[in-house]
Structure 1
Amino acid sequence: MAAKTLQIDIVSDVMCPWCIVGYQRLQQALASFSNIDAQITWHPFELNPQMAKEGQHLGEHLAEKYGSTPQQSQQNRANLIAIGKTLDIEFNFTDQSRIYNTFNAHQLLQWAKSFNQQTALKLALFEAYFKQQQNIADNNVLLNVVEAVGLDRQQAEIVLASQQYADSVRAEQALWQSRGISAVPAIVFNQQYLISGAQSAEYLAEAIKQLQA
């Protein structure tokens, strides 16, 4: 039996831990189907578009944006670390963790799409930030990640210097916001069916099963 193509659009930000959790759960769900050819495309969303290049202390940021106390932030980090261990995700949060601007990262993800390396780059960026605690607003860090996944470092350097994908990233963000996306992750199946948040693998598998039917 020929595999059925399933188009999956994922709107996300590299700063969002629930986005990598959602992706790993999606992979678990897809693994239960032998007849699906999943075509995944990543789309940009900035949780903090005004964030300066040097970033901000994560605890301070959560307190300012959500009113989280240090105790709540610590508990949330512990919860994510525990969830990550069940999904082969290494969250290495520390008391010095920072949050960064991701606009240039999104430009490189747009560029990587034409080489069919978008998912590879996205996962490498997640790892650079969450596991290695690197500043992915720093161009040298971004170029190291690009090179690590086999993409051309010099081409990527030109992309960043020219900002040639800036307008297309902003246009895509505006498009998804116009479709009602205000939080991530947002997963859209076959351009019709939206699932918001990092739902369980079982929930996602059931949704895919209903789509197949």
Structure 2
Amino acid sequence: MRSLRIDIVSDVVCPWCIIGYKSLQAALKLLSNEIQAQIHWHPFELNPTMPQGGENLRDHLTRKYGTTREASIEARNKLTQLGAEVGFDFNFFEEMRIYNTRKAHQMLMWANQHHKQNELELALFEAYFCHEKPIDNESVLIQIAVDIGLDKAQCVQVLSDESWAKAVANTEQQWLQAGIHAVPAIIIEQKHLISGAQTTENLVNTLRSIAHKAISTH
């Protein structure tokens, strides 16, 4: 059994990030007799200057990328199909909004200290993509955290403490300086970079190859 450290740089409003993770999860399940993974999530904000309340997702994509309505519909259909293939149910809707995720990342960084980071990450993806939750809203974030067993009073403190916001910003800056400019970015053993959402088959082959090389060099 080979132990691998897997770092994932991601944002909770990035559909490709949850697709990529679900593919990774499936790959690790197939390799459960060969590899044991320690997963660590790291912050990346797609829209760090987004104001409270967010922006209509379709309007946002038009403004940022020039995406047409037809292209938006096609993209949502494709994402929904890819999500279904890896076991994630996207619920795109007409008035869907995109949000600032700084506070969500503060929570995730804190949850790591309580061994609840992976659970919170998945709960945030589901809240946003499946249940139409405004994940820049503190009450919503606190409820999500409490639902997975985190302490409410500590949640409130983390969300209001500027040092947590600075810690997120500093971590993001470190990843940018390391050359990570798009997500998901999956880093295996702190040296093998996998960019974008990969298929489960590709991930199985890559992980197996890295694990075997690691064993042969020991």
Where in structure 2 are the equivalents of 1:14-29 lying within 5 Å? 14-29=12-27
For 2:30, what is the secondary structure of its paired residue?
coil
The 10-residue stretch of structure 1 (66-75 or 154-163) with the greater mean CA deviation from structure 2? 154-163
User: For this pair of structures, how many residues does the alignment match?
Assistant: 211
The gaps in structure 2 that reach 5 residues or longer are 213-218
- What is the distance in 2 between the residues matched to 1:57 and 1:8? 33
- Correspondence for 1:170: 169
| Runs of at least 4 residues off by over 2 Å | none
- What is the distance in 2 between the residues matched to 1:170 and 1:161? 15
- What is the distance in 1 between the residues matched to 2:78 and 2:13? 17
State yes or no: 1:93 paired with 2:92.
Answer: yes
The gaps in structure 1 that reach 5 residues or longer are none
How far is the alpha carbon of 1:166 from its aligned partner? 1.2
**What is the identity percentage for the equivalent residue pairs of Structure 1 and Structure 2?**
45
Query: Which letter does structure 1 place at the counterpart of 2:149?
Result: G
Where in structure 2 are the equivalents of 1:99-110 lying within 5 Å? 99-110=98-109
- Correspondence for 2:3: 5
- What is the distance in 2 between the residues matched to 1:164 and 1:157? 13
- What is the distance in 1 between the residues matched to 2:69 and 2:116? 38
- Correspondence for 1:70: 69
How far is the alpha carbon of 1:84 from its aligned partner? 1.1
How far is the alpha carbon of 1:75 from its aligned partner? 0.7
Indicate the RMSD between aligned Cα atoms, in angstroms. 0.8
Where in structure 2 are the equivalents of 1:160-199 lying within 5 Å? 160-199=159-198
How far is the alpha carbon of 1:13 from its aligned partner? 0.2
- What is the distance in 1 between the residues matched to 2:117 and 2:145? 10
Deviation digits for residues 130-177 of structure 1 (CA, Å, limit 9, x no counterpart): 000110000000001001111111110111122331111111101100
State yes or no: 1:158 paired with 2:141.
Answer: no
Deviation digits for residues 71-110 of structure 1 (CA, Å, limit 9, x no counterpart): 1001100111111111221111111000000000000000
- What is the distance in 2 between the residues matched to 1:124 and 1:164? 24
- What is the distance in 2 between the residues matched to 1:163 and 1:108? 12
For 1:8, what is the secondary structure of its paired residue?
strand
The 10-residue stretch of structure 1 (181-190 or 31-40) with the greater mean CA deviation from structure 2? 31-40
- Correspondence for 1:145: 144
Deviation digits for residues 8-51 of structure 1 (CA, Å, limit 9, x no counterpart): 00000001000000000001111121121100000000001000
- Correspondence for 2:29: 31
